[in-house]
């Protein structure tokens, strides 16, 4: 196997320099199979660059499968002491030899990339055996990529990094070298599953399941050597659209047979196929409601078809009424997923995974954790994040999302002694932020979001700043001294900065309708989408209490149902998500709501200006092209942040008539 090095594409977190520690040593790789061969190929690629080599014992580094015979002596010392388990590995260093031992080839590959991250640190002092196991079984990236360019959404829905790396001109790309390189990057941060097409399944894409399956197989072939399984988004009415049946009723025998036969053909073509992703009864996608069936029945027919092959169906919980009447105060979009799915807990198949967006609405910069996550004790769960920055600056703004994701993963629905979201989810999913852009993610610094996603899915307890250090060390490895301080200054707090200059206190959705970039405070206020702030001359926010509002607070277990219900106890950052309050309402911070709006908007824009100054100082310390790209993007971010500041401040000043206590300029 050759290591993919696509031309004109940034190496991201795998530049050749990142392999110096391994590549300059003598390494023994023991084990058979595709992924062991990948590790061998990686080691010899690194050695060709840095002077080391593949060897027999004695070696400086031993990477071994526990099933290998004979097991090298350095590895045999570890065998039987601790089971690395599925996908895991044991790492130790003794007598001057670093050893990675794994029970399965995926573990060997992850162990290899762990060594890449450690660099020289893997070859220093002796290390007692440490076991590494992934917290999430499936660490998945979902692409919202269309095969054919969609007239409104383009090649990649909500994509901010150019075209699709998989699809162009209505078919799979002819040269898939870049897909292989992508698989390598994903494996190096721990990702092991990819959905290759948009959950909104349009006409051309529907055919990936049948007559265009060869394209999916070609992509799967590129990702397989890096341990990544391919999943496919499918339409619920495929039996009608593709099979010519008169119905897609999940309880109709012909429909069951169609799914079973179709799925069998998928596995004949792609034996390690991961499974289906389904968006049903959501934003115009068809689903079981049309046949008066439940989502458990709808998901069941697909799950049954996949079960004989070990496949899974990721069934999205993003079901709500997007044709709401804004005059109807009784309908609350935040309630929808729980209302639809909680009653179905206990009715889903074992290989059905309910995929829940992390917040109850839609990837806003600040939302509470979705109550669905705590409401499905007998259902397997995937939590969905959005790496593509639809509502967080669209990869024109720096917005490092790991701190937000970490907060979600740490949230304990039953209070401090209960389990955390990280313990409740079996899978973690991110909507991909990758495209055919030379930097992969449009904004070069947005690479860190993809990297951090994979790392958090492997270990949700990692510190976002430490993950950033890993990413900096790998990505900027060729620099004599990576601009660590500058990057931390720009990125560590960038999500909170973004939150400050956009929608305040958890209220969300003050974006321009349609494309969702830039401010428009009333853009969605009188629309059918169910995303309102209810600002009037006296106050702002959505009353979601049981006492006087939509009752959404009642979807949480205690203590949060009580904390969110109480205007006194509700955390400041979510106040307007749960309560409608007067502008003079005093926050825990001591500020009033209106003064908080002014202060944070001035502060947020000023923080962006400061980031821009810091970045200018780093000129000469990073690659000039990368520096220039980030500089241009920071210009745009500052322009946009000032626009947000001025529109939001002007809007609330005009509504409330309350002047800024500091007398700053409000238009």
Is 211 tagged catalytic?
no
Is 390 tagged catalytic?
yes
For ligand GCW, the closer CB: 357 or 645: 357
- 565 CB contacts (<8 Å, ≥6 apart)? 545, 546, 547, 553, 554, 578
For ligand GCW, the closer CB: 13 or 315: 315
Among 155, 164, 192, 200, binds ligand GCW (CB under 6 A): 200
Q: Is 199 a binder of ligand GCW (CB under 6 A)?
A: yes
Closest by Cα among 468, 464, 454 to 136: 454
- CB 318 to ligand GCW: min, Å: 5
DSSP secondary structure of 80-119? TTS---TT-EEEEEETTEEEEEESSHHHHHHHHHHHHHHG
Q: Is 509 a binder of ligand GCW (CB under 6 A)?
A: no
For ligand GCW, the closer CB: 87 or 200: 200
Q: Is 498 a binder of ligand GCW (CB under 6 A)?
A: no
| Peptide bond before residue 389 is cis, with ω within 30 degrees of 0 | no
Q: Is 113 a binder of ligand GCW (CB under 6 A)?
A: no
What six digits make up the tokens of 376?
Answer: 């499905």
- CB 261 to ligand GCW: min, Å: 28
Query: What are the start-end ranges of the H helices in 539-592?
Result: 560-565, 575-578
Measured at CB, which residue is nearest to ligand GCW?
Answer: 362
For ligand GCW, the closer CB: 158 or 314: 158
- CB 109 to ligand GCW: min, Å: 30
Q: Of 120, 169, 283, 522, which one is the catalytic site residue?
A: 283
Among 40, 158, 293, 596, binds ligand GCW (CB under 6 A): 158
Q: CA dist 257 to 75, 239, 289, 578, Å?
A: 49, 10, 20, 47
- CB 199 to ligand GCW: min, Å: 5
Give, as one character, the DSSP assignment of residue 586: B
For ligand GCW, the closer CB: 406 or 516: 516
Q: Is the dihedral of CA 464, 403, 635, 488 positive or negative?
A: negative
Total residues at interface with ligand GCW (CB under 6 A): 10
For ligand GCW, the closer CB: 144 or 495: 144
Contact pattern for ligand GCW over residues 430 through 469, marking x by CB under 6 A? ----------------------------------------
- CB 360 to ligand GCW: min, Å: 13
Output b/e per residue, 245-283; b: 16+ Cβ within 10 A. Answer: beebbbebeebbebbeebbeebbeebeebbbbbbbbbbe
- CB 327 to ligand GCW: min, Å: 23
Among 103, 157, 427, 565, binds ligand GCW (CB under 6 A): 157
- CB 118 to ligand GCW: min, Å: 36
- Tally of CB atoms within 10 A around 141: 26
Q: Of 103, 215, 249, 390, which one is the catalytic site residue?
A: 390
Q: Is the dihedral of CA 632, 638, 643, 648 positive or negative?
A: positive
For ligand GCW, the closer CB: 144 or 556: 144
Distance from the Cα of residue 65 to its chain's centroid: 30
For ligand GCW, the closer CB: 145 or 543: 145
Q: 186 with 145: CB under 8 angstroms?
A: no
CA contacts within 13 A on the Cβ side of 199: 25
For ligand GCW, the closer CB: 199 or 597: 199
The C-alpha angle 488, 489, 491, rounded to 5 degrees, equals 60
Q: Which of residues 357-386 bind ligand GCW (CB under 6 A)?
A: 362-363
Measure the N-to-C terminal CA separation of the chain; round to a whole number of Å: 62
Q: Which of residues 317-356 bind ligand GCW (CB under 6 A)?
A: 318
Q: Is 390 a binder of ligand GCW (CB under 6 A)?
A: yes
3-state DSSP call for residue 243?
coil
For ligand GCW, the closer CB: 200 or 379: 200
What six digits make up the tokens of 502?
Answer: 């956009």
- 568 CB contacts (<8 Å, ≥6 apart)? none
Strands (E), 108-221: 127-132, 138-142, 145-150, 154-156, 167-168, 171-172, 193-195
For ligand GCW, the closer CB: 198 or 545: 198
Is 350 tagged catalytic?
no
CA contacts within 13 A on the Cβ side of 456: 33
Q: CA dist 366 to 397, 424, 573, Å?
A: 16, 21, 8
- Tally of CB atoms within 10 A around 627: 18
Q: Of 60, 362, 384, 436, which one is the catalytic site residue?
A: 362
- CB 386 to ligand GCW: min, Å: 7
- CB 319 to ligand GCW: min, Å: 10
- CB 207 to ligand GCW: min, Å: 19
DSSP secondary structure of 493-538? THHHHHHHHSS-TT----BPTTT--SB-TTTTTTSTT-------SS
- CB 435 to ligand GCW: min, Å: 15
Q: Is 279 a binder of ligand GCW (CB under 6 A)?
A: yes
Contact pattern for ligand GCW over residues 126 through 145, marking x by CB under 6 A? ------------------x-
Q: Which residues make up the interface to ligand GCW (CB under 6 A)?
A: 144, 157-158, 199-200, 279, 318, 362-363, 390
Which residues are the active-site residues?
A: 283, 362, 390
């Amino acid at each position: 196997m050759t290591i993919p090095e696509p031309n004109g594409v940034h190496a991201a977190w795998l530049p050749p320099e990142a392999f110096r520690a391994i590549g300059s040593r003598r390494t023994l790789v023991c084990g058979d199979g595709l992924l062991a061969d990948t590790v061998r190929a990686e080691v010899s690629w690194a050695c060709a660059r840095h002077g080391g080599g593949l060897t027999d014992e004695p070696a400086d580094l031993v990477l071994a499968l526990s099933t290998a015979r004979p097991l090298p002596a350095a590895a045999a010392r570890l065998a039987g002491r601790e089971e690395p388990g599925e996908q895991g590995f044991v790492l130790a260093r003794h007598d001057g030899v670093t050893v990675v031992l794994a029970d399965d080839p995926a573990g060997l590959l992850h162990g290899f990339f762990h060594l890449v991250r450690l660099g020289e640190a893997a070859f220093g002092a002796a290390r007692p055996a440490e076991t590494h196991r992934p917290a999430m079984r499936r660490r998945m990236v979902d692409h919202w990529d269309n095969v054919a360019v969609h007239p409104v959404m383009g090649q990649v829905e909500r994509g901010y990094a150019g075209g699709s790396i998989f699809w162009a001109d209505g078919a799979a790309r002819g040269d898939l070298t870049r897909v292989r390189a992508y698989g390598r990057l994903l494996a190096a941060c721990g990702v092991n599953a990819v959905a290759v097409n948009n959950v909104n399944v349009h006409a051309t894409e529907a055919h990936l399941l049948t007559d265009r399956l060869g394209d999916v197989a070609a992509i799967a072939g590129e990702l397989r050597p890096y341990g990544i399984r391919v999943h496919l988004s499918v339409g619920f009415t495929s039996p009608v659209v593709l099979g010519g049946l008169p119905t897609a009723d999940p309880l109709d025998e012909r429909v069951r047979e169609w799914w079973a036969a179709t799925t069998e053909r998928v596995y004949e073509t792609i034996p390690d196929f991961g499974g289906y992703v389904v968006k049903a009864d959501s934003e115009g996608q068809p689903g079981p409601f049309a046949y008066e069936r439940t989502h458990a029945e709808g998901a069941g027919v697909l799950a049954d078809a996949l079960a004989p092959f070990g496949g899974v169906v990721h069934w999205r919980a993003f079901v709500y009424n997007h044709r709401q009447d804004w005059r109807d105060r009784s309908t609350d979009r935040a309630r929808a997923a729980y209302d639809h799915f909680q009653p179905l807990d206990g009715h889903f198949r074992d290989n059905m995974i309910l995929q829940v967006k992390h917040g109850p609405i839609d990837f806003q910069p600040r939302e509470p954790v979705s109550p669905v996550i705590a409401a499905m004790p007998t259902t397997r769960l995937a939590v969905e994040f959005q790496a593509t920055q639809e509502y967080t600056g669209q990869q024109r703004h720096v917005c490092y999302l790991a701190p937000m994701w970490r907060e979600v993963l740490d949230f304990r629905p039953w209070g401090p002694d209960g389990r955390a979201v990280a313990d409740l989810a079996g899978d973690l999913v991110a909507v991909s932020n990758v495209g055919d852009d030379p930097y992969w993610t449009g904004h070069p610094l947005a690479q860190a979001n993809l990297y951090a996603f994979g790392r958090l899915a492997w270990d949700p307890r990692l510190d976002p700043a430490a993950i950033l250090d890993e990413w900096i060390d790998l990505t900027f490895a060729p620099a004599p001294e990576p601009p660590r301080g500058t990057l931390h200054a720009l990125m560590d707090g960038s999500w909170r900065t973004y939150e400050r200059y956009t929608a305040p206190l958890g209220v969300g959705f003050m974006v321009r309708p349609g494309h969702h970039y830039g401010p428009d405070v009333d853009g969605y206020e009188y629309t059918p989408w169910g995303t309102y702030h209810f600002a009037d001359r006296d106050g702002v926010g959505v009353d979601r209490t049981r006492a006087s509002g939509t009752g959404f607070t009642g979807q949480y277990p205690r203590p949060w149902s009580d904390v969110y219900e109480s205007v006194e106890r509700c955390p400041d950052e979510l106040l307007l998500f749960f309560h409608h309050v007067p502008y003079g309402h005093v926050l825990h911070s001591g500020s009033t709501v209106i003064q908080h709006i002014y202060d944070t908007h001035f502060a947020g824009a000023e923080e962006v200006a400061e980031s821009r100054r810091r970045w200018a100082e780093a000129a000469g310390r990073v690659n000039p092209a990368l520096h220039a790209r980030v500089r241009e993007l920071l210009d745009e971010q500052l322009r946009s942040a000032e626009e947000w500041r001025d529109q939001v401040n002007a809007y609330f000043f005009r509504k409330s008539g309350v002047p800024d206590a500091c007398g700053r300029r409000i238009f």
